[in-house]
């Protein structure tokens, strides 16, 4: 497995995140050598969603107010229906995600998390995938929706669902190794 030692990755989530979409990237990114912080609007713990009921709680390392995009190499946005729906109405969360996008840093969104990219008008003209139920939202926001396990377009990585997690995390690691995509973004 590639190593991304000394890289800093933020996983931004709140209550209702799809459990595997936070826990699998957290574990695999740490195994690859990254320093990973779980960041949330609230302190303490946030609770996941597993299949059709509440799942495990995860400790929050830092609140949104305590972090800035400049301190990280990448941001991972887990899905689930509840988590991104709550975050897309949180102005602090949106400003933080936009700072990652504007800087050309790696932004990775899985399942319903591309809703956050739609909210920020960040899918227009990009190839994107997502959970199939938000395909129309992506298209209406100007995204070019495709049905593939992982899609990367100018530093933004998207995946469809928990079944795509291995490909999703592998692509996140690869993109972190490559570094900032500000040059690619400026060239397009």
Instruction: Report the catalytic residues.
Output: 112
Token readout for 81 is 């229906």
DSSP conformational letter for 42: S
Whole-Å CA distances, 49 to 57, 82, 132: 9, 9, 19
- Asked whether the CA dihedral 155, 13, 23, 124 is positive or negative, the reply is negative
Beta strands in 19-79 (DSSP E): 35-40, 45-50, 53-59, 62-63, 74-77
Instruction: Residue 172: name the closest of 91, 74, 34 by CA.
Output: 74
Q: Tell me whether residue 174 is exposed, middle or buried, using C-beta atoms within 10 angstroms of its C-beta: 0 to 12, 13 to 18, 19 or more.
A: middle
Cβ atoms within 10 Å, residue 113: 30
């Amino acid at each position: 497995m590639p190593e991304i030692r000394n890289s800093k990755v933020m996983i931004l989530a709140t209550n209702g995140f799809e459990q595997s979409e936070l826990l699998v990237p957290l574990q695999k990114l740490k195994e690859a050598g990254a320093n990973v912080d779980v960041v949330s609007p609230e302190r303490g713990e946030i609770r996941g969603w597993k299949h059709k009921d509440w799942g495990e709680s995860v400790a929050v390392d830092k609140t949104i107010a305590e972090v800035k995009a400049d301190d990280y190499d990448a941001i991972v946005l887990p899905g689930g229906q509840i988590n991104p729906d709550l975050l897309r109405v949180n102005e602090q969360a949106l400003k933080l995600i936009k700072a990652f996008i504007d800087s050309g840093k790696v932004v990775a969104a899985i399942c319903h998390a591309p809703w956050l990219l739609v909210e920020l008008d960040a899918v227009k003209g990009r190839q994107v995938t997502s959970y199939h139920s938000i395909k129309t939202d992506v298209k209406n926001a100007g995204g070019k929706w495709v049905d593939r396990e992982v899609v990367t377009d100018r530093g933004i990585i998207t995946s469809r669902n928990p079944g795509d997690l291995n490909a999703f995390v592998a692509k996140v690691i690869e993109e972190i190794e490559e570094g900032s995509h500000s040059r690619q973004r400026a060239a397009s």
